[in-house]
Structure 1
Amino acid sequence: MPVIRIAAAEVHEMHGSRFTPLVRPAAGSAELCIWRLEISPATEGVAHKVLREEAFVLLDGALTLTIDGEAADLVPGDAAVAPAGSTIRLDNSADHPAVVMVTAPVGFSGELADGTRISPPWVN
């Protein structure tokens, strides 16, 4: 049985957040990616377009998720889905980190406002 140990996972940092990949092709997955996202306190996220569907479950803290201009405050246990092609932003205005479990299909990528395409290393 393949087990991915979070203690052994490579951590990536970007835009005031820490991405810890768990399930992804490098760990043996053919279809799914799951990563732990920790958003630092008082962080305004960077708006970006997701080119494949992406789902979020808030595990700890508080988070404002904006999808195509519509913002929603999430509390632990809340979940949300960003459709493919939508523009999203995750903000943490609290004074402690927000911890989110995120999933997307293999091949997931995004696009910044300036058109820069990102294929995040935590989904490869």
Structure 2
Amino acid sequence: MPVIRTADVASHQMHGSTFTPLVRPATGSSELCVWRLEVAPATDGVPHRIHREEAFVLLSGTVAVTIDGETGTLTPGDAAVAPAGSTIRLANPADAPATVLVTTTVGFTGELADGTIVNPPWVN
């Protein structure tokens, strides 16, 4: 069984958050992507439309997840699912970092409000 060690992957910074890829094509997956998302304290997050379904499980801290204008607060162990085509935003209103496990499918992309397509390196 292949093991993907956090120490062996490069993290990526975007919009005040750190994305650490774990499962993706570059690590042997053909269908799934999983990454650890660390959201800095007092981060508002950037709204973006997702082109594929995305699921979030909060591991530590607090995050507010907004999906198509509806906001819910996650505490550790809680999960949220955003359908393909929805507009999402993750915010950390707390004064401590939050850690989220995120999963989607290979080929995931997003779109910023200005129309810019984001093809995140942590899913390739």
TM over 0.5: yes
After TM superposition, the structure 1 = structure 2 runs for residues 39-54 of structure 1, keeping only pairs within 5 Å, are 39-54=39-54
TM-score by length of 1: 0.99
Deviating 4+ runs (over 3 angstroms): none
User: How big is the shift at 1:28?
Assistant: 0.5
Query: Where does the alignment leave 5 or more consecutive residues of structure 2 unmatched?
Result: none
User: How big is the shift at 1:23?
Assistant: 0.1
Q: Does 1:75 align with 2:88?
A: no
User: How big is the shift at 1:9?
Assistant: 1.3
Separation (CA, whole Å) in 2 of partners of 1:7 and 1:76: 24
Over the residues paired in the alignment, what is the CA RMSD in angstroms? 0.4
Match of 1:18 in 2: 18
Q: Does 1:4 align with 2:4?
A: yes
3-state SS of paired residue (1:26)? helix
Separation (CA, whole Å) in 2 of partners of 1:57 and 1:26: 23
Query: Where does the alignment leave 5 or more consecutive residues of structure 1 unmatched?
Result: none
Identity %: 70
TM-score by length of 2: 0.99
Aligned length: 124
Separation (CA, whole Å) in 2 of partners of 1:63 and 1:123: 22
In structure 2, give the amino acid aligned to 1:97: P
User: How big is the shift at 1:8?
Assistant: 1.3
